[in-house]
């Protein structure tokens, strides 16, 4: 799972910026979705990032579907990003290298959280 990488990212974020508190919740299964936990996380956090070794249409989409149907994103205060394996073929490599290519290692998780928390800006390519 990506739990260890998520914990590494959370520790690095909190060490770099004491104003940011990061909660890592280990959702051990997709169904039934722990709606009480999702509601609690939405109430206590302004950013939710799901990290999974699955593809589009998995756990993150399930969480997003619940958040929207339950009205937890209606006021615009909650930001959400699912991090999943991209829909592409991967060259044979070590597991770490494949997750690096997929953007699912600690550095990518950290970057996603910091971007959503508006602590870093990602440059947008300019048209030439």
Confidence of residue 124 (pLDDT cuts 50, 70, 90): low
pLDDT of 79 above 70: yes
pLDDT of 65 above 80: yes
HEC sequence for 49-105: EEECCCCCCCHHHHHHHHHHHCCCCCCCCCEEEEECCCCCCCCCCCHHHHHHHHCCC
**pLDDT tens-digit series, residues 30-59:** 889 999 999 999 999 999 999 999 889 999
- The pLDDT value given to residue 125: 64
Average the pLDDT over 97-117 and give the result.
Answer: 93
């Amino acid at each position: 799972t990506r739990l260890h990488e998520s914990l590494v990212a959370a520790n690095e974020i909190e060490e770099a910026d004491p104003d940011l508190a990061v909660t890592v919740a280990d959702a051990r299964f997709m169904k039934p979705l722990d709606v009480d936990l999702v509601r609690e996380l939405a109430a206590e956090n302004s950013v939710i990032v799901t990290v999974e070794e699955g593809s589009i249409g998995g756990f993150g989409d399930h969480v997003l579907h619940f958040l929207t149907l339950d009205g937890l994103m209606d006021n615009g205060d909650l930001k959400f990003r699912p991090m999943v394996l991209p829909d592409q073929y991967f060259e044979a490599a070590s597991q770490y290298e494949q997750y690096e290519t997929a953007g699912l290692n600690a550095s990518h998780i950290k970057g996603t959280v910091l971007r959503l928390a508006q602590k870093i800006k990602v440059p947008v390519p300019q048209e030439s």
